[in-house]
Amino acid sequence: MSASGNDAASRQGDAGSRQGDAGPRPARLDVGVVSAGRVGAVMGAALAAAGHRVVAASAVSRASRARAENLLPGAEILPPDEVVARADLALLAVPDDVLPGLVRGLAAAGCLRPGQILVHTCGSHGVGVLAPAVEHDVLPIALHPAMTITGRPEDVTRLTGACVGVTAPDSTNDDAEAAWLVGEALVVEIGAEPVRIAEDLRPIYHAALAHGANHLVTLVREAADLLSDAGIEPAERVLAPLLSAALDNALRHGDRALTGPVVRGDAGTIATHLRHLDARAPASAPLYRALALRTAERARAGGLLGADDSAAIRDVLERHTP
């Protein structure tokens, strides 16, 4: 094991050995947050709640400065390279597309040192994106919380019990194993559950989460808008019990939770829906059509929809034009 892996693992091991001690736990790692966006501020606050010390953060916008003041009190606001230079654990919480350039800039700035733990929170990247920094003998880890984060204090509590995707170098040497163990230990310390994600599977992992969470919001708001157009206010009062039950059933029972005209084979009802959507909410019609088609495919594959009904629904969905 190199010095970096050994130093990082021993520091985190010391932290873990004190986890069960009675009374307040001393700060264990000096944490630097780049930047104090929604995820960075919340993850930094969660690490602070676990006993680490957030010593510095970068924050440019008024919102990020307010967030840092609220969630990371005592953290000095500094440029990213100075934040990283002060940290035992540098947390890079920037958008996925920004991360590669940030890492290259930090590697060129001379702010990295052997023994540092370098963590990023991007969903679609593994640790390959941290390669320029690894040349400085840091310990690279990717930690992505599988949770919708708004940047509010209650998000710190929501992380408890959530899952966090962990990725570390894909090799069998001691440094790689140290990175996996440190990443998992950090997740456990904030009260979350670590889930190992292989480097090459990070994009599909992130696509699954974005598809489920982000598109769920779009779908819910589309349904609420349609109800509002039908004169039903507040639309949320009608949707809340229905959608809560649908989500719970889907998670518990999979495709067998499907209800409605598609799984019943009601092609005529679907045609009526499309005619009225085209007339009153044309922007929503393509989404309805695409989701109904995929629902029919899943219902057919799961044995919930017969071949004739499936063909009739597909015919309606594919032949119908506004």
pLDDT at residue number 176: 85
Q: Global pTM?
A: 0.86
Q: For residue 7, what pLDDT is reported?
A: 57
Q: Around Cβ 18, how many Cβ atoms within 10 Å?
A: 12
What the block records as the tokens of 95 is 């958008």
CA 154, 241, 207 angle in degrees (round to 5)? 60
Q: In what order do the strands lie in the sheet with 193-196?
A: 76-77, 53-58, 30-34, 89-92, 117-120, 139-145, 163-167, 193-196
- For the chain, the structural domain boundaries read 3-197, 204-319
Q: How do the pLDDT tens digits run along the chain, 322 residues long?
A: 454 455 555 555 544 443 444 334 444 999 999 999 999 999 999 999 999 999 999 999 999 999 999 999 999 999 999 999 999 999 999 999 999 999 999 999 999 999 999 999 999 999 999 999 999 999 999 999 999 999 999 999 999 999 999 999 987 777 789 999 999 999 999 999 999 999 999 999 999 999 999 999 999 999 999 999 999 999 999 999 999 999 999 999 999 999 999 999 999 999 999 999 999 999 999 999 999 999 999 999 999 999 999 999 999 998 866 6
CATH fold for the domain made of 3-197: Rossmann fold (3.40.50)
The pLDDT score that the predictor gives to residue 6 is 53
Q: What is the pLDDT of residue 319?
A: 82
Question: What pLDDT does 23 receive?
Answer: 37
The CATH code for residues 204-319 is 1.10.1040
- Beta strand pairing call for 163-167 and 193-196: parallel
Q: Which residue has the tokens 């930690």?
A: 143
Amino acid present at 89: L
d(C-alpha 7, C-alpha 184), whole Å: 16
Please report the sign of the dihedral spanned by the C-alpha atoms of residue 165, residue 169, residue 170, residue 175: negative
Q: Residue 58 forms beta bridges with which residues? A: 34
Alpha helices in the chain (DSSP H): 3-17, 38-49, 62-71, 80-85, 99-109, 131-134, 154-158, 174-189, 202-209, 215-229, 235-253, 261-264, 267-280, 285-301, 307-319
Q: Which residues contact 179 (CB under 8 A, 6 or more apart)?
A: 5, 8, 127, 139, 140, 141, 168, 169
Per DSSP bridges, beta strands 139-145 and 163-167 are antiparallel
The reported pLDDT for the residue numbered 320 is 62
Predicted local distance difference test score (pLDDT) of residue 4: 47
Residue 24 is predicted with a pLDDT of: 40
